[in-house]
A and B are shown apart, each in its own frame.
Chain A
Amino acid sequence: MPTVSVEIPPGRQPEYNYPPYVSSIKRAPGMPLIVLPQTLTERTGPVFGQGLIQERDNDLTAQHSGDPLGERIFVHGRVLDEDGRPVRGALVEAWQANAAGRYRHKVDNHDAPLDPNFSGAGRTITGDDGRYWFKTIKPGAYPWGNHYNAWRPAHIHLSLFGAGILSRLVTQMYFPGDPLQPLDPIFNSIPDEAARMRLVSRFDINRTEPGYALAYEFDIVLRGRGETPFEEPR
């Protein structure tokens, strides 16, 4: 049974076992991964209809009676495949901490305030041009227990479904100029610097709304349908 590198080419994806991220040590598989068959199962994937999405699902600032605290931002971009073609109908799910760095989640015990006007979750489906946008507030950094004085850089979690189940991607979008990024083992788990920096959004003055909100652009490239894994001995 041949094994395959999970890299196309190497360094663009994290290894499963990345000891600086302590939680990976006991959860990473230890046995060789097996070549994924390329059958109807792998070449197809779920198609989500616009009917699943409700009107304010992509406006995280409009889900309560009042405005959330924090710096109002737009996050927008295109979902593309490896040939640069827009991925239409891609479901994009987003979740994040509030401006103080606190998630509305029962296991988040960070001593920072919850915001009664912020749930921190949204979703949208791309149009024919592959574009998506969210209105939200800029999330705060927060401490975590990975190592002494560990802090996560500000980030928004993103989950995407493209054309076929193998294009599935869960990632995190970061913000430009954040001094916590080079200290963060999750960010650093992607070995290739250029690949890592692609997860940093671009400040986009052209899409700001004067007097109202700043904007960040984040294009996302998904793997194509039914790619053949790149084989190499390991």
Chain B
Amino acid sequence: MTDSRLTPYGSQTVGPFFDIGLSWLIERCPVDSGVAGAIEIRGRVLDGDGLPVPDAVLEFWSAENPAGSDSGAYPRGFRRAFTDAEGNFSVRVSRPSALPSEDGGIQAPHLLVLVFARGLLRHLISRVYFDDERASESDAVLAGIPAERRRTMIARRDEDNTFRWSVILQGPEETVFFAW
């Protein structure tokens, strides 16, 4: 790193009024409910007291086909969702595939998740894996997470064929978050 490099600007909270500025992208997102392989992930965002966070933004990223677009100009692999008054969110995404890993192996199917909220001065980053993917058992990133915390990164399929995954911002059940 040389002195001539510029410093990335500081983050500030998304605040409580973000849907004014951020909801348009959800509205302009192509509806893909009929697409084969689309899955739904539902969950809650909770704070350190176990209270719902009604003003959070979640963004989901999958690196598959990063250059392509869903339709028009909307990027494939990206979805945004807000929590409601009870802290619940729901998002439909294409089911991700396995990806190459840095050591020449494969990574289990996963999504990168960015979490923004009032009270978060910087966003948080996590990953979501899927409990019905056997590849998760040998995924190098998951293997690097302390065993007792891995389950916070695994979405569980319920009887409705919907995946359940929640974000716990703080406390003993805290979701694994990454530094970047």
Contacts and interface: CB of A to CB of B under 8 A. Distances in A.
Interface of A: 1, 3-6, 8, 12-16, 18, 21, 23-31, 33-52, 80-84, 93-95, 97, 103-105, 107-108, 119-123, 157, 159, 165-172, 186-187, 189-190, 195-196, 198-199, 220-223, 227, 229
Interface string B115-136: 0111111111101000000000
Interface string B8-27: 11111111111111101100
Given A21-B119, A42-B112, A49-B72, A190 B10 contact: yes
B77 A46 contact: yes
Given A6-B180, A27-B119, A170-B116, A120 B10 contact: no
Given A12-B8, A221-B8, A95 B20 contact: yes
Contact of B6 (A82, A120, A123, A159): A82
Interface string B79-118: 0000000000000000000011110000100101010111
Main SS of the interface on chain B?
loop
B165 interface: no
A199 B15 CA distance: 16
B77 A33 contact: no
A8 B179 CA distance: 11
B17 A108 contact: yes
Contact of B73 (A5, A51, A172): A51
Given A8-B7, A8-B8, A26-B48, 9 more contacts: A4-B179, A27-B169, A37-B102, A47-B69, A49-B73, A95-B21, A123-B24, A187-B12, A221-B7
A51 B72 contact: yes
With a 10 A CB-CB cut-off, give which of A44, A80, A94, A190 has the most chain B CB atoms.
A44
Give chain B's interface residue range (CB within 8 Å of chain A). 35 or more
Nearest to A218: B9
B90 to A, nearest CB: 20
A26, A45, A97, A169 — which one has the most chain B CB atoms within 10 A of its CB? Answer: A26
26 contacts: A6-B122, A14-B12, A18-B121, A23-B119, A25-B119, A27-B117, A29-B175, A34-B145, A41-B99, A41-B112, A41-B127, A47-B66, A48-B73, A51-B73, A52-B25, A52-B28, A52-B74, A81-B6, A82-B6, A107-B16, A108-B17, A170-B13, A172-B12, A195-B9, A199-B12, A220-B9
Nearest to A156: B21
B36 interface: no
Nearest to A120: B20
Given A27-B120, A198-B9, A199-B10, A168 B114 contact: yes
**Main DSSP-derived SS at the A contact region:** loop
B10 A21 contact: no
Nearest to B145: A34
Given A39-B99, A199-B9, A221-B7, A95 B18 contact: yes
A12 B12 CA distance: 11
B21 A31 contact: no
B10 A41 contact: no
Nearest to A165: B61
Contacts of B125: 36
B49 interface: yes
B171 interface: yes
A129 to B, nearest CB: 16
B121 to A, nearest CB: 4
Contacts of B73: 48-52
A14 B122 contact: yes
